[in-house]
Amino acid sequence: MTTSDIQLPGTEGLAALAQTYFDAAHDMDADKFASILHEAAFVTRKGENDTVVVTPVAAWLDIVRTLKSPRETGVERKDQILSINLVRDMALLKLSLRIPPREVTDLLSCFFLDGRWLIVQKVFNAEPLR
């Protein structure tokens, strides 16, 4: 069987993944994040002095468990799908959301695995809220 033999969902499946991601971020729900992140995923961000910081997803989820949720702060949600690029069984989602005190832009690389979309790489940038 090849990927052309498999019925892939269109962008609606990716939009649903994005909504789960937004909900997980609003609640800082590590278990909800884990449900859409492949266990081998990595989270990548730009560090100080132009370094690149790469964190295995399990370690990143441990960090998430320590964070205060945007829901707790009472900040209005501002979730937006900026783009979805789909090529066969892989996709790139560009998302924007508020996680006080920052506005976050995420690039989420996804594969269609075992009948569903999963995030395999999260690259993000965070700027102070405006």
Task: Show pLDDT as tens, one digit a residue, over the chain (130 residues).
Answer: 344 445 556 788 999 999 999 999 999 999 999 999 999 999 999 999 999 999 999 999 999 999 999 999 888 899 999 999 999 999 999 999 999 888 999 999 999 999 999 999 999 999 988 7
| CATH classification number, 9-128, choose in 3.40.980.10, 3.40.50.720, 3.50.50.60, 3.10.450.50 | 3.10.450.50
Could you tell me which residues come within 8 angstroms of residue 76 by beta carbon, excluding any fewer than 6 positions away? 98
Extents of the domains making up the chain: 9-128
Question: Which residue has tokens 């991601």?
Answer: 21
CA distance 45 to 43: 7
